[in-house]
Amino acid sequence: MGKLRQKPIIFQAPTNVSLENGRIKMAGPKGDLQIDIPAKIDAQLEPTKVKLTVADEKDNPLLGLYNSLIRNAISGVSSGWQKTLELVGVGFRAQGTGSELILNVGFSHPVKITAPPGVTFQVSENKIIVSGADKYLVGETAASVRRVKPPEPYKGKGIRYLNEVIRKKLGKAAKAVGAASAAK
């Protein structure tokens, strides 16, 4: 990752990249994104690549940051980003598609979540797929869905990311049995 900032950012044909007034705009089949570039960074646009440079060596960390942001944006508008969440628990259900999601996760009322523009929900059985072009927005939306009912540490019931490992605790009964055998 250290020398990644020195490499040019290469993009393919379906993605269109333009540079104007310190702002890089990307358009592709999955949507449009734009990133404001600080004045300390000099961006040059060629037909199939973007090259970033800085005048002062102190600004190298900024170069790495914006290099990654532009790479993620180009990847997002061309192929998109997605996060998959799963519902674990008896009677936990999700319904809705597009920009609205309704969760029944053990509360006395259903929880309604509206996606920000550019992010969509897909629901199948006990899985929720959050997808969109902006990596940051997809991650934030998935985190806000998970925050509604995070997995609890005793049985693991709740909303979790796909393949997320939940560290479980022992219950009171297991602790009592362990303490009784240790006292003997």
Residue 68: C-alpha distances to residues 4, 9, 19, 32, 100 (Å) = 9, 9, 17, 17, 30
CATH number of 81-161: 3.90.930.12
40-69: b (≥16 Cβ within 10 Å) or e = ebebeeeeeebebebeeeeeeebbbebbeb
pLDDT of amino acid 178: 63
Please list the pLDDT of the chain residue by residue as tens digits (184 residues): 567 767 888 888 888 999 998 899 999 999 999 999 999 999 989 888 899 888 888 888 888 899 999 999 999 999 999 999 999 999 999 998 889 999 999 999 999 999 999 999 999 989 999 999 999 999 999 999 999 999 999 999 999 999 999 999 988 887 677 655 555 5
CATH number of 4-78: 3.90.930.12
Domain regions of the chain by residue span: 4-78, 81-161
- In the structure encoding, which two tokens stand for residue 22, read together? 């310190």
Q: Quick check: do 4-78 and 81-161 share a fold?
A: yes
pTM of the model: 0.85
Return the beta strands (E) in 58-98 as ranges.
Answer: 81-88, 93-95
